[in-house]
Chains A and B, each alone.
Chain A
Amino acid sequence: MSDHPRLSLHVPEPEFRPGAKPDFSGVTIPRAGTVRRPPVDTAPEEIRDLAYSIIRVLNRAGEAVGPWADQLSDEALQAGLKTMMKVRAYDTRMQMAQRQGKTSFYMQCTGEEAIACAFQMALEPGDMNFPTYRQQGLLIASGYPLVDMMCQIYSNSRDPMKGRQLPVMYSSKAHGFFSISGNLGTQYPQAVGWAMASAIKGDTCIAAGWIGDGSTAESDFHSALVFASTYKAPVVLNIVNNQWAISTFQGIARGGSGTFAARGHGFGIPALRVDGNDYLAVYAVARWAIERARRNLGPTLIEYVTYRAAAHSTSDDPAAYRPKEESEAWPLGDPVERLKNHLIVKKLWSEERHTQAVAEVEAEVIAAQKEAESYGTLHTGPKASGRDMFVDVFKEMPPHLRRQRQEAGY
């Protein structure tokens, strides 16, 4: 036997498991307005501190404060609130539809609405998102029809994906929303490639890649950062850190590094960390990074600190791995409530108006749902044809597929 002490394996554990009382008082959250706002052409090595802080605009009183504030008009703020409310109402209805057996699967983004909704407002037509499955806010904020989204969820006769894809795997080139893959992280280098293509062609469009905290552990995350760094691709690389990868807490993917944003430093990519539940902060940071990309200054890595308030998906029960109270205890609050309070403070909104808006949004979503269901749901009514399964495997159907289609009776 060796004289050395015996080794032991370190396996990180979250602080709170079911039954424990979550307490985030030890988490350092900078006060709103205290993090500086550097010029977009600042050298990455001069803003390393921003990867370890949290950029915040909305304070507890609902005021927008500090150097990242005052970027949005009153109308844009009201529209932003309504978009987030619409996303939440859409999620609620589709979650319910799944529970009613109208589809097989659904994924909500409860608590994370501000990130996709505000980011989309900072993009321009022609830009391209490479999203994950939890960025439905991008589509809704871009004005994509709710009915079409629902038809995809139902895999019905009007499903734009022709019944081929798992619910929530939308695609819309016209709305700058790249086809979603169920294989995690693959879209990250693709976003970089799209951005490189825009640069190769001397275009003015930029790309945005999206990934979750858990999937940053995939090698494709590394691939994307290497290529983005090498070719200074005009891309914004977004990490949505919602604390939980199904049942696995973010510490398993993050390991010993202080933050996910700090992963950018090894690549010389400027990295920002932002309060993901603060619509104004998300918008301001998105604009900063998008301007950098647009000015050919290269990529930016952004970590949005947020919390997945709902289950991972309809197939998941978070009560099995985290305390039920954790969501309430989460210190960054609810994005819809926070923007609503800000609008009330600015006298652009009121409780009465909010109640009315909730009803309006719900009516809009219910009307869309009714229409979508008239085109069928997964198990009832008209649905995508079996013939469609053989189409689009290739641009033109080769003989062996034509034979198989005949064999299948289509």
Chain B
Amino acid sequence: MPTMTMIEAIRDAHDVMMARDDNVVVFGEDVGYFGGVFRCTRGLQQKYGRARCFDTPINESGIVGTAIGMAAYGLRPCIEIQFADYMYPAYDQLVSEAARLRHRSANDFAAPVTVRMPTGGGIFGAQTHSQSPEALFTHVCGLKTVVPSNPYDAKGLLISAIECDDPVIFLEPKRLYNGPFDGHHDRPVVPWAKHPLSEVPEGHYSVPLGVASIRRPGTALTVLAYGTMVYVAEAAAAESGIDAEIIDLRTLLPLDTDTIAASVEKTRRCVIVHEATRTSGFGAELSATVQEMCFYHLEAPIIRVTGWDTPYPHAQEWAYFPGPQRVGEAFRRVMEA
């Protein structure tokens, strides 16, 4: 089986879907001739022509707005917002339009649009190229929100997203594009080829939306993580020697509460990890959900390890990033409680 990076897997998902379905169109800033600033759409314009993969003006509201119109016509646009940080001009189109269209028209129209955007930090992108805005989407009824953490899932989830009849926000952790990253920024980069989840089947397969994956079975505590933080949690488990069960949520909405509840009922302890700022972050929703479902099984307070409530800094990136040391400390605290 071929190994792929996240970028290659995402590109391959586009290729598979564009070949299977003429209604799939791909566009965004720099995605056409050049193939995207992260190269996730490389070669698609050459293969499928300019009418199916093209560059757009720098206008996120226009990108999402035209995609909604195309979806209403019957196409299946898969569009790229160059950085999740650039999404804000399109927020009205996502919240008031894409997310609401099926409901407000009583199923007369729908917006099956996939909106891809690189998310998270760890590349010295500072505050406008590092944000993790997932909670801004999970709070919106009518949107599905997906965060893959490895090439296998990225391809299978992106295929599911494009095939989904509802709008899907597809957040790609940019620090994972070229290799798994455990938060030890001072160590050499590990390439994807050395990771088992870089083995990606050729052709069509899908990973279902709304299903989490247990990345590391364990008995001592449950870690709820997604994207880059899955690797940070793995590093923290290895370095602390604490037998953590690590759940990669993969889809934040709909959330796989069955997998979460089963694990927390077993381990009786829960640590939630995300890179986004803490207050009103998705961790708050996870914490409330665990409390509602598992309160009488819990033996310790739920702990959140997150980015600080500050803009994502440049020089202080690694002081902001919730690395293995902070996560490991949370493990110890939750075990001592």
A330 at the interface (CB under 8 A from B): no
B61 at the interface (CB under 8 A from A): yes
**Once the chains bind, are B257 and A194 in contact (CB under 8 Å)?**
no
B104 at the interface (CB under 8 A from A): yes
B residues within 8 Å of A by Cβ?
Answer: 25, 51-52, 56-57, 59, 61-62, 65-70, 72-75, 89, 92-93, 96-97, 100-110, 141-142, 144, 165-166, 210, 253-255, 257
Given contacts A164-B104, A196-B69, A394 and B166 within 8 Å (CB-CB): yes
**Once the chains bind, are A194 and B57 in contact (CB under 8 Å)?**
no
B57, B66, B68, B97 interface centre (most CB from chain A within 10 Å): B66
With an 8 Å Cβ cutoff, the count of chain A residues facing the other chain is 48
Q: Give the residues in chain A near B254, CB-CB below 8 Å.
A: 398-400
**Once the chains bind, are B106 and A393 in contact (CB under 8 Å)?**
no
Given contacts A190-B72, A194-B69, A395 and B104 within 8 Å (CB-CB): no
Q: Which of A182, A183, A220, A226 contacts B57 (CB 8 A)?
A: A226
Q: Which of B74, B93, B102 contacts A394 (CB 8 A)?
A: B102
Q: Please, what's the 1-or-0 string for A160-185, where 1 marks a CB less than 8 Å from any CB in chain B?
A: 11101100010111000011011100
Bound: A192/B74 CA distance, A = 14
Q: Please, what's the 1-or-0 string for A191-214, where 1 marks a CB less than 8 Å from any CB in chain B?
A: 111111111110000010000000
Bound: A192/B59 CA distance, A = 14
Bound: A286/B65 CA distance, A = 24
Bound: A220/B103 CA distance, A = 22
Q: Give the residues in chain A near B144, CB-CB below 8 Å.
A: 394
Closest residue on chain A to residue B210 by CB atoms: A398
Bound: A90/B15 CA distance, A = 52
**Once the chains bind, are A198 and B73 in contact (CB under 8 Å)?**
yes
A219 at the interface (CB under 8 A from B): yes
A residues within 8 Å of B by Cβ?
Answer: 128, 130, 160-162, 164-165, 169, 171-173, 178-179, 181-183, 186, 188-201, 207, 219-220, 222-224, 226-227, 230, 391-395, 398-400
Minimum C-beta distance from B91 to chain A (A): 11
Bound: A161/B66 CA distance, A = 24
**Once the chains bind, are B70 and A179 in contact (CB under 8 Å)?**
no
**Once the chains bind, are A219 and B89 in contact (CB under 8 Å)?**
yes
Given contacts A181-B97, A395-B165, A196 and B66 within 8 Å (CB-CB): yes
A130, A162, A189, A224 interface centre (most CB from chain B within 10 Å): A189
Bound: A198/B72 CA distance, A = 11
Bound: A189/B104 CA distance, A = 19
Q: Which of A128, A393, A400 contacts B142 (CB 8 A)?
A: A393
**Once the chains bind, are B68 and A190 in contact (CB under 8 Å)?**
yes
Given contacts A161-B106, A394-B166, A190 and B65 within 8 Å (CB-CB): yes
Bound: A194/B100 CA distance, A = 17
Bound: A189/B326 CA distance, A = 45
**Once the chains bind, are A193 and B210 in contact (CB under 8 Å)?**
no
Bound: A69/B101 CA distance, A = 40
Bound: A182/B61 CA distance, A = 17
Q: Give the residues in chain A near B108, CB-CB below 8 Å.
A: 160, 171-173, 179
**Once the chains bind, are A393 and B103 in contact (CB under 8 Å)?**
yes
**Once the chains bind, are B62 and A227 in contact (CB under 8 Å)?**
yes
Given contacts A189-B62, A190-B72, A200-B52, A179 and B109 within 8 Å (CB-CB): yes
**Once the chains bind, are B65 and A224 in contact (CB under 8 Å)?**
yes
Closest residue on chain A to residue B99 by CB atoms: A393
Q: Give the residues in chain A near B166, CB-CB below 8 Å.
A: 394-395
Minimum C-beta distance from A308 to chain B (A): 24
Q: Give the residues in chain A near B69, CB-CB below 8 Å.
A: 130, 189-197, 207
Bound: A179/B96 CA distance, A = 12
**Once the chains bind, are B57 and A179 in contact (CB under 8 Å)?**
no
Bound: A160/B57 CA distance, A = 37
Q: Give the residues in chain B near A162, CB-CB below 8 Å.
A: 106
Minimum C-beta distance from B80 to chain A (A): 15
Q: Give the residues in chain A near B89, CB-CB below 8 Å.
A: 219
Bound: A394/B68 CA distance, A = 15
Given A190-B68, A192-B69, list of 12 further CB < 8 A pairs? Answer: A178-B72, A183-B97, A189-B62, A191-B69, A192-B66, A193-B66, A198-B73, A222-B59, A223-B59, A223-B65, A393-B141, A395-B110
Minimum C-beta distance from B190 to chain A (A): 36
**Once the chains bind, are B104 and A181 in contact (CB under 8 Å)?**
yes
Bound: A46/B56 CA distance, A = 28
Q: Give the residues in chain A near B253, CB-CB below 8 Å.
A: 398
**Once the chains bind, are B104 and A161 in contact (CB under 8 Å)?**
yes
Q: Give the residues in chain B near A201, CB-CB below 8 Å.
A: 73-75
**Once the chains bind, are B102 and A181 in contact (CB under 8 Å)?**
no
**Once the chains bind, are B165 and A194 in contact (CB under 8 Å)?**
no
B69, B74, B105 interface centre (most CB from chain A within 10 Å): B69
**Once the chains bind, are B68 and A226 in contact (CB under 8 Å)?**
no
Given contacts A173-B108, A186-B92, A227-B59, A395 and B65 within 8 Å (CB-CB): no
Minimum C-beta distance from A130 to chain B (A): 7
Sample (5) of A-B pairs whose CB atoms are under 8 Å apart: A128-B73, A160-B108, A181-B100, A193-B67, A197-B25
Q: Which of B25, B73, B96, B210 contacts A186 (CB 8 A)?
A: B96
8 closest Cβ pairs, A-B complex: A193-B69, A189-B65, A193-B66, A223-B62, A197-B73, A179-B105, A190-B69, A398-B254
**Once the chains bind, are A190 and B102 in contact (CB under 8 Å)?**
no
A172, A188, A193 interface centre (most CB from chain B within 10 Å): A193
Minimum C-beta distance from B33 to chain A (A): 15
Minimum C-beta distance from B18 to chain A (A): 12
Minimum C-beta distance from A248 to chain B (A): 20
Q: Give the residues in chain A near B210, CB-CB below 8 Å.
A: 398
Q: Give the residues in chain B near A128, CB-CB below 8 Å.
A: 72-73
Minimum C-beta distance from B227 to chain A (A): 21
